[in-house]
Chain A
Amino acid sequence: MTETARPIIQIQNVSKRFGKVTAVDNVSLDINAGEFFVLLGPSGCGKTTLLRMIAGFELPTEGRILIDGQDMAGIPPNKRPVNMVFQSYAVFPHMSVADNVAYGLKIAGVKGGEVKDRVAEALELVKLGGFETRMPDQMSGGQRQRVALARSLVMRPKVLLLDEPLSALDAKLRAQMQFELSELQEKVGITFVTVTHDQDEALSMACRIGVINKGEVAQLATPSDLYEYPANRFVADFVGSVNIFEGKLTLDEPDKAAVDCPGLGKVYLNHGVTGPHGADVWVALRPEKIYLHVPGEGKAVKAAAQDAPDGYNFARGKIKGMSYLGDITLFEIELETGARIRVSRPNLSRHDQEDFTWDDKVSMHWRADSPVVLLG
């Protein structure tokens, strides 16, 4: 992130309607120069429409979009200082790699020698040096994507837009490209705006994430804030895995709070919530923040959970499901109340997965700063 946050893209009260369908509903957000911004949301949430409005392929029904302070109303895509990497890459199949990358430069009237230098430089940047004469049908999907990246980056746009850039790659390549895209973005210093439905992708690459739901911004935050401090149930549930329990706020003071959940029991927190007393709230608890114990460890558990000022966070249950995922094991536990809770446990040693089995009675605890209380 840059020290001085200067907005390069300003989206102001933008709505987009297709007939009766509202794809984007009164969205306002600023994207800062030099940051890697990710629009995250389920399919059909309007995030791609938002990106296409920045590129100029769709026009906002209401509101306005400013790029580098300039209102984009009436400016066609070929006149905007942004370039896009398409989901299908859209590499021109009848042109060589070099011709693809040079396409925009030639139209911009860049001289022959400079075109050659800049094409070579751009291909080097995406690690495709030496591929100049290849035709797109002789390349893999990952390589074609690099061509599309080079073709956009060579234009030195103010903003690079990427529409689901990794969705067509296999899992290994996707993980590698996540790192490469972040690296590339730092190297060239161009603002990247990426659209994705994949939360891992968003968390690993973004400086900031805008979560979009039903055409509205659900939350705008850094990856860790999004995960650790979700603003609402949608974000908590969409980003990562979470247990959500409904409850009533029974205690709310500056340094402590308690929520009475019929499903989970009383949940204690070591900070205030600032919600109306007795309000209906939801408690979100991530599976990895719950410690699992075999019965008999009770006293140690209580001691460990003593960080809550007013009680301790503790529950008992029975293992109803287990899935061993290698690095972690995921447990589905039936609580004494009948509700179910998901707990994940890292396999720190080679034998950790042998500690528990189906129908084992277990107890759990979690720290008083782990649950997140959600008001909406």
Chain B
Amino acid sequence: MAEQDWKTNRRVFAAVSLPTLFWIIVFFVVPMAIVWLYSFGENKGLTEIDISGTLDNYKRATEWLYVTIFGKSFAVAALVTLICLIVGFPVAMAITFAGEKWRPWLLLGIMLPFWTNLLVRTYALMILLGSQGYANKGLGALWEGTSWVKTLVGLQPLPTWEPVQLLFNNFAVVFGLVYVHLPFMVLPLYAALDRLDRSLIEASLDLGAGHFRTIMRIVVPLAAPGIVAGVMITLIPALGAYLTPDLMGGTDSQMIANVIERQFKKANDWPFGAALSFLLIYAMFALIAIQSMRRKVPEVG
């Protein structure tokens, strides 16, 4: 009915969109604009910031120290994304081709971590990976077992088990980030694979291709939109990761978000923190721009 069509009725449209618009402007656009302005300012005293239009903060951000941290953040995020893709693709395939009965449960298994607070999950992982954690205990038991078998067959026993350092290093950061971001990769991959017409796979098999070749030449290219979506949705939050490197990283594993946090809190240098923040945001914008400029992949199905 015409009078119920809110798209053509401007007042209704305004009434519907106003709260959202208000929310976005007051809680997103305005604060971001303030931070953006701060990035062109300088500290005058403890709490006073003079927005003088200086570019010194950006100049300082190009110092070698910060460039390396940016670079490292990219490298870590890229590695995390790659591992998520390699681990996530078979998982997504398994869910797609699982029986009707199993699929909701498997998806639930992927989603379940979302229902738990990130901090709780991170601490849980730390308990697992600690020097007295289950990972080390398990490895220790294997070590002792091997040693025992060796003595059993008359060989020298292995030296005493020294717990492996699994926490507070770069490994822990990558491990923790993969753990946190894997669902972000699996879900878009699953969505893409689920849309895939099964008869395309059967056609490939019918024409003589084996399973591996069918996956590489048919499934992966047709899941490309899902792969791109998964990569973006993993790479961008991983790039801005703060909690995981803060809690699980060592002194040398800080990422750009940790540096930004330090500027706002410990160093009390808001203008520089703001400049770093916006550089990170620009980098993310650039990624999204590159992605949307890619040649459109033909629609599946």
Contacts and interface: CB of A to CB of B under 8 A. Distances in A.
Contacts of B299: 93, 137
A21 to B, nearest CB: 15
B218 A76 contact: no
B202 A93 contact: no
Interface of B: 197, 199-200, 202-210, 213, 217-218, 221-222, 224, 297-301
30 contacts: A57-B202, A76-B205, A77-B202, A77-B205, A78-B206, A78-B208, A78-B209, A83-B206, A84-B203, A84-B206, A87-B199, A90-B197, A90-B200, A90-B203, A92-B200, A92-B204, A92-B218, A93-B298, A93-B299, A94-B224, A107-B207, A107-B208, A107-B209, A108-B208, A151-B203, A151-B207, A152-B206, A152-B207, A155-B207, A155-B208
Interface of A: 55, 57, 76-79, 83-84, 86-88, 90, 92-94, 103-104, 107-108, 135-137, 148, 151-152, 155
Contacts of A107: 207-209, 213
Given A94-B221, A137-B298, A103 B197 contact: no
A135 B295 CA distance: 14
Which of A76, A94, A152 gathers most chain B CB within 10 Å?
A94
Tell me what chain B mostly uses at the interface: helix, strand, loop, or mixed.
helix
A79 B206 CA distance: 8
Given A92-B222, A93-B299, A152-B207, 9 more contacts: A77-B205, A77-B206, A78-B208, A84-B202, A86-B202, A90-B197, A94-B224, A137-B298, A152-B206
A57 B217 CA distance: 20
A107 B210 CA distance: 9
Contacts of B298: 93-94, 135-137
B208 A90 contact: no
B301 A86 contact: no
Counting from the closest, the 5 A-B pairs by CB-CB distance are A104-B207, A90-B203, A90-B199, A86-B199, A77-B205
Nearest to A155: B207
Contacts of B203: 84, 86, 90, 92, 148, 151
A104 B214 CA distance: 11
Contacts of A90: 197, 199-200, 202-203
